[in-house]
Structure 1
């Protein structure tokens, strides 16, 4: 009740001075400072984070490293001046130095740099590998660095890496050659002859040691890191390293893959597997290893393997140095773990998880089976949780649909104190109304939550068109957060009510709710979205039911195309990076096996889903005008699906428009491309929604 009253109060307060505020523009959205995730110093006194200063001119964009006192005693101050971004920020154990990865001066690849905060001055380059360095971490005694570098599988040392790289550069041909899966990831062809290895180097010396060189693990065909930020960390005694690696990536075409935790000596050698079985069949998947302050507990995120396309992440608790599992901590209703921070007392751990459009703070003792809710913001989300090792300080990123991300301090009861204010002055000038939540029960007995955004300068006596926006994933959710690519308020700016529904399959409502999409990838979610629109029209009398359009990207684009196949309720549709042919998507995407499981079996078996929930099979019914857009470098939903959809629309003489971005991937990331895309979307919506009568009537 308190949260609802707070949200209502915010809505009233926002409407009081709405007439004095301006409508958000693309410039307002794009040029807003972008605050990154915080990293808390071990003593808990400071948090380091990146702030990007975007520009429409690529050469004028910049990202800098900032520092803020966690007690709020002083405003944040900038630490770096280089235009190149810093990443992988790490603190030394004494909280006096910061390490980060960046390309500076004549660097061809990113290297690790160290900035001494106590002595001041410029950052000093710490590594010089030809293959670069990332994800640094100081050793417990502060004398060495742990980092990751992607090296050639056949290389014995850095000279070998340089030799092989030179041979590649001198080739007279250009070709990608593979003998196994996968071969692509989002917008990049995977370099099949390079793999991530963990290195250790003494600070101030040129003695970088590849800890996996010559190991049987690194020679496995399926060896890799599951993603760029899988994680590695020093063991508490500084004698070994714990890291994350996959052994079965090469099996991705016919089974789920997973990652395990491994331990390797700081001198190198054959790694010891800490989790999983000897077999290469898919097992539970681990990541983000981190030790408790006393060094007696190893924590890691773990996602069980059950044969489902979705499983919620838990927190694994492992005894150290024995390596024996103590148990797993779950979130209530089997929500999925977001982030975690061990408490300095070494007895508790703080966690965050998505929950009904927010991300909230939880706490659990080491022996607990389930975490308990500590608190949540009145609206918005807390994410990217970070804590001090020696002091009980929690720092996080806070944002809402009306507030871009800022750095905040959380106390152990969930009370929030803002530490930065990079965007407050700018957003105060904009007419941004907080989102409103409502829910209903669908025909299958499931609770379906939605958020509604009113247009600027709202007048309750007027009637407004409805824009239904469908999120991607599907294993994600619309959250009360600041969004760049589908900003709620920018979409509402011309005078539309925006509806954001967390359909079945969305995260933040428990594991079972997310899993319920398996075997029903489009119809169930589509029914929920249409039912939510009906519920909104019934609940909010200012919505004009005769003027509705729907839009989405990625999985939301799939759903937009499903609406094309199954309903004529919408005057127009917008589809970005959406599939129209399940079968073509299976064969050309960078991931395939999960689609097979989700759709009930291989394509060639032609089960019900492949036949009955494939939009292209309903092309004879295509009637709704559609704006179709796609990035030519998109390997997740390759351009062929957009072209096939476009061809069907043209064949059926459906009024439509196709936009292909040659230099974009799954998302529209370039500033000018984004501005153009938003303008095209708004023009398309205006064409079909502004008139009281549909076009051609």
Structure 2
């Protein structure tokens, strides 16, 4: 019996056993430990024949280096329980199915590897075998349509065009007796990494015995251009987002030649095509802008891609376009006047229809639209949460919609959607039982019209053991971005229910500038980066107090991170209605943020020109301008490795608070960047925030001195 067949039999037995009803458990209050230790289900990747789904499953830990991330497999018809197919210390990245639906490729760093390499696992049996041996590492594998070669990416040294010249460059750097970074262009940092002079490259690894990988792009004139680069990644590298052409004779990728223009202009990208054997790349479609997520229809006749024109606006809606193939040329807009951004999409096997995931007012729905173009039609409307990823097998006999579905009270699971009924059923239930034991409720939604005539969407989250006849303190949480929104989804950074767990109602407002409400709404924040959105949030607090008798708006704190931290600092400068404020990674001076962040031109667009121009925004909407008015107690937190909102802003805020003798507390996390990602740092962050809120909203003892080592003392949750 083959390994996959054996899996079907044994897993079906497991599925039968798991159907036994569990004993009812009392509802528990969400804790950091419960939240952090929830397993995390990655996005689905369906085999071309439509029979299988693989996904990553992360099993977290508080202990250093003890988190586990492996690949799992489950049949798309739900006939068997999921099974783990990899088990190694290092996790697997960017898995990809072979055209034969039998093998998968992925990038990982296993024992004996100095850097990550591409491995291939045959699901019929045996261990994964290493397919590449590249000094500079191998990432993001893509199978050639015939299954006989793999395209992958690597970051290579300047001027290096093959393995030998890369090795020489690496040896020279290793031999240096000094440590110094040199820059002649902007940007020099990205998120939490200093950039180096390596560049992205494309390699082809034939799968014949003894064949060596070959860099197909570094020797081209395009790659030698001074401003050549790919889309930046959080690890300091860059990606060209390559894919094979349908016949396997060409490679398509997204690149820029304007990388060093970032200090004074938008950086535009082109969608390129080139022979897989080498040669000079050419533009597949003539217009430059921002491209993303390119995919071919299964019949090979059309290339689908996200595109926006990168104009001088603070936000441009990415829309789906179609390029005829193999002709190439001008792209055709597919979604017409549809005023929502497509988050993800997949193509049906008959190449006629696209299924889209679309965020809208905190939820994420599924739509469909013809490949020929037209008005998107709603297929599955999420009543809570939404569909955050979607995949369709390319060679299946009929359309199979496999997706990720989750909400603020339902950790994401892999599901199968029936496009006729718009309903789904789970293929995984990793956290389902655990979620049912927690005392939490889905957010309640409400809208109001602001004093500027804009309809503003809001959500409120209630605490455990909620009683609508009581009064609860209010925590106002402001999302980052601003081109983002409050989603009905679980998050670790500012988890709504973990904040509410100590007996607070949490208010979430999608102010002007938020996404999920159309392009004009997101653009309307231009030249009004803080004042207008903050006024809408204050109006939302008033509106929530009118609508919900259980909210005590006179007993409220407010906080946020990133742009939410900018707003927190603005609230400090402009109102005394809140009893306390929490600000993480917040700017206090638009000028300081412009000069020290990892990007700056977009800030000029938002503020009406460079700092030395005639725009009053730079001064008028910097919280530090109003330092003499600061009075509200404030908790400040920052990651020392944050280059998006460098710690200098937090130190300016701290100096101003101390100068004005405002009660304040400063928390610096040396290992953190824009996000606090280490488990113990995260747990400590929540302890400190809960201690701060408990003192000002519940009268608990003030937090003094060193770090809090246990949760704050309990106090009545409501009156």
TM-score with structure 1 setting the length: 0.94
Q: How far does residue 20 in structure 1 lie from its aligned partner after superposition? A: 3.2
Q: How does 1:250-265 map to 2 (within 5 A)?
A: 250-265=260-275
CA distance in 2, matches of 1:622, 1:230: 47
Given candidates 102, 127, 130, the residue that maps to 2:132 is: 127
Counterpart of 2:342 in structure 1 is: 337
SS in 2 for 1:336: coil
Q: Secondary structure at the match of 1:536?
A: helix
Offset at 1:19?
10
Please, which of 466, 469, 477 is the counterpart of residue 469 of structure 1? 477
Alignment of 1:546-695 (within 5 A): 546-691=554-699
Worse-matched range after superposition: 411-420 or 449-458: 411-420
In 2: Cα distance, 1:644 partner to 1:86 partner: 41
Q: Does 1:173 align with 2:191?
A: no
Q: Distance in 1 between matches of 2:95 and 2:547?
A: 48
**Structure 1 CA distance, aligned partners of 2:132 and 2:652?**
48
* Cα separation, 2, equivalents of 1:526 and 1:645: 18
Q: In 2, distance between residues paired with 1:42 and 1:651?
A: 63
Gaps of 5+ in 2: 1-22, 234-238, 704-719
Structure 1 segments of 4 or more deviating over 3 A?
17-20, 227-230, 691-695
Tell me which residue corresponds to 1:315.
320
- Kindly indicate whether the alpha-carbon contact (under 8 Å) linking 2:242 and 2:252 is maintained by their aligned counterparts in 1: yes
Distance (whole Å) between structure 2 residues aligned to residue 618 and residue 450 of structure 1: 29
1:219 maps to 2:224:
yes
Note if 1:139 corresponds to 2:140: no
Residue 230 of structure 1 deviates from its aligned partner by 4.9
Contact kept? 1:19, 1:457, Cα under 8 Å: no
1:155-189 CA deviation, whole Å, 9 max, x = no partner?
12112111111211221111111111111100001
- Equivalent residue, structure 1, for 2:414: 407
Give the C-alpha shift of residue 359 in structure 1: 1.3
SS of 1:20's equivalent in the other structure is coil
Q: Given that residues 48 and 393 in structure 2 are in contact (C-alpha distance below 8 angstroms), is that contact kept between their aligned partners in structure 1? A: yes
Aligned to 1:5: none
| CA distance, structure 1, for counterparts of residue 240 and residue 450 of structure 2 | 38
How far is 1:346 from its partner? Answer: 0.8
Q: Do residues 56 (structure 1) and 62 (structure 2) align?
A: yes
Partner of 2:439: 431
Match of 1:199 in 2: 203
CA deviations on 1:122-154 (whole Å, 9 max, x unpaired) are 100000100011110111110000111111121
1:316–1:325 contact (8 Å) kept in structure 2: no
2:114 is the alignment partner of 1:108? yes
Quote the residue 1:9 is aligned against.
none
Q: Which residue in the other structure is 2:17 paired with?
A: none
For 2:41 and 2:282, the matched residues in 1 are separated by 38
* 8 Å CA contact 2:694, 2:700 repeated in 1: no
Contact 1:349–1:363, Cα closer than 8 Å, also in 2: yes
| Correspondent of 1:489 among 488, 497, 519 | 497
Count, aligned residues:
672
| Backbone CA RMSD of aligned residues | 1.7
* 1:84 correspondence with 2:90: yes
Given that 1:288 and 1:300 are in contact with CA atoms closer than 8 Å, whether structure 2 keeps it comes out as yes
Match of 1:244 among 254, 257, 267: 254
Residues 61-80 of structure 1 mapped to structure 2, 5 A cutoff? 61-80=67-86
Cα distance, 1:417 vs. partner? 1.3
Q: Quote the offset at 1:372 in angstroms.
A: 2.2
Q: Deviations over 1:617-638 (max 9, x none)?
A: 0000000000000000000000
The 5-angstrom pairing of residues 381-530 of structure 1 reads 381-391=386-396, 392-413=399-420, 414-530=422-538
| Distance in 1 of aligned mates of 2:249 and 2:50 | 25
Cα 1:472–1:651 shift into 2, 3 Å = same
Distance 1:553 1:331 in 2: 35
Per-residue deviation at 1:207? Answer: 1.8
Match of 2:20 in 1: none
Q: 2 CA distance for matches of 1:247 and 1:465? A: 53
Give the Cα separation in 2 of the matches to 1:306 and 1:333: 19
Partner SS state of residue 434, structure 2: helix
Query: For the residues of structure 2 that align with 1:621 and 1:653, how far apart are their CA atoms?
Result: 11
Residues in 1 aligned to 2:25 and 2:446: alpha-carbon distance in whole angstroms: 26
Q: Contact 1:18/1:431 (CA < 8 Å) preserved in 2?
A: no
Say which SS state the counterpart of residue 299 (structure 1) adopts: strand
Q: Is the 8 A contact 2:25 2:437 kept in 1?
A: no
CA contact (8 A) 2:120 2:131 kept: yes
- Measured against aligned partners, the alpha-carbon deviations of 1:299-340 in whole angstroms (never above 9, x if no partner) come to 111122221120111111000000033511237642112111
Which structure has more relative contact order (CA 8 Å, sep 6+)? It is 1
- Secondary structure, counterpart of 2:65 in structure 1: helix
Q: Is the CA contact (8 Å cut-off) linking 1:384 and 1:396 kept in structure 2?
A: yes
Residues 230 and 269 of structure 1: CA distance in aligned 2, closer, same or farther (over 3 Å): closer
Preserved CA contact (<8 Å) 1:209 1:268: no
> Take 2:43 and 2:109, find their aligned partners in 1: how far apart are those partners?
20
Cα offset for 1:18?
12
CA distance in 2, matches of 1:239, 1:382: 35
Alpha-carbon offset, residue 68 of structure 1: 1.1
Q: Deviations over 1:475-515 (max 9, x none)?
A: 01001111111111000000000001111100000011000
Q: What TM-score do the two structures reach when normalised by structure 2?
A: 0.91
Q: Secondary structure at the match of 2:343?
A: strand
Q: Deviations over 1:350-383 (max 9, x none)?
A: 1112111011111111222432222222211101
Q: Deviations over 1:217-246 (max 9, x none)?
A: 101111111134552111011111111111
Q: Is the 8 A contact 1:409 1:418 kept in 2?
A: yes
Name structure 1 gaps, 5 residues minimum: 1-16, 278-282
Q: How much does 1:390 deviate?
A: 1.2
The answer to whether the 8 Å contact 2:695/2:702 transfers is no
Q: Distance between the aligned counterparts of 1:335 and 1:687, measured in 2?
A: 42
